[in-house]
Amino acid sequence: MDRRTLITTAIGLVGVSATGALAQTTDAGSGQMPRPGGPTYSTGKAESYDRDEIVHAASDFLGVTAEAAGAAIERIFAQNGRPTAYIAGTEAAAAITVGLRYGKGLIYMKNKSALTVFWQGPSIGFDLRANASRVFTLCYNLQYQDAIYQRFPGVEGSAYFIGGLGVNYQRADEITLAPIRAGVGLGAGANVGYLAYTRHRNWLPL
C-alpha cells in the first residue's frame, strides 16, 4: 500500500470514530437510551391540572360561582390530589328504585385534542330523582384518553353534596372518576350501579 492510500484510509477511520462518539454523547445528554434501528421516544405520565385551573374551568362550565366550585373541588383534591384529565358534558337521568342515566361530553387532557365521550348506565337502590344536569368529571390516573372507554362502577357510600353540587366517585382498575353535577332536579339516593363510557351513543345501558 503506498503512502497516499495509507493516509486516506487513516483519515476515514478517524472520521467514523468521531461521528460515533458524537452520537453517543447526544443520546446520553438527552436522557434517552439509543434504540438501534429506530428513533428514541420520551415517556412519562400525563400532565396534571392544578386546583386553580380546575376551579376556573368547573365554575365556568357549571355556571356556578368560583366559591361553590372551589368548595367541592377542594374536598376532591384533598382525597385524590391533582387530576390528569376532566370531562365536561351534560346528562339526563331518572329513577324510581331502578334508574337510567345518559350523557355526552368532551374529555380534555393537556397537550391533547378533546375527544367526544358518551356514557350510560343503570342504578338500583333507594333512589328517587329526575334531573337534567351539567357534569364536570375529574379523572385521576388516566394516562391516555382512550382509557376512559370502559365500565366504571360507582363507589358505594361516596355520594355527597357540597356547595349545592352533587359529587360521587366511580372506579375501575386504577382509574378514579369524580363527577360533579349541577342542574335542575338534582337528587340524591343510596344506590349502586355503573356508567359505561363509550365512543358512540349506546341506548342499551346494560
Check residue 166 and give its pLDDT. Answer: 86
> Which positions ≥6 away from 94 have C-beta within 8 Å?
100, 129, 130, 131
Where do we find the cell 374551568?
57
Check residue 77 and give its pLDDT. Answer: 97
pLDDT averaged per 10 residues, the chain (length 206): 46 42 38 38 71 96 93 95 97 72 95 95 61 88 95 85 87 94 60 82 73
Check residue 128 and give its pLDDT. Answer: 52
- CA dist., res. 200 & res. 203, Å (int): 10
Residue 159 near residue 167 (C-beta atoms within 8 A): yes
Measured in whole angstroms, how far is the alpha carbon of residue 174 from the centre of its chain?
Answer: 12
pTM: 0.72
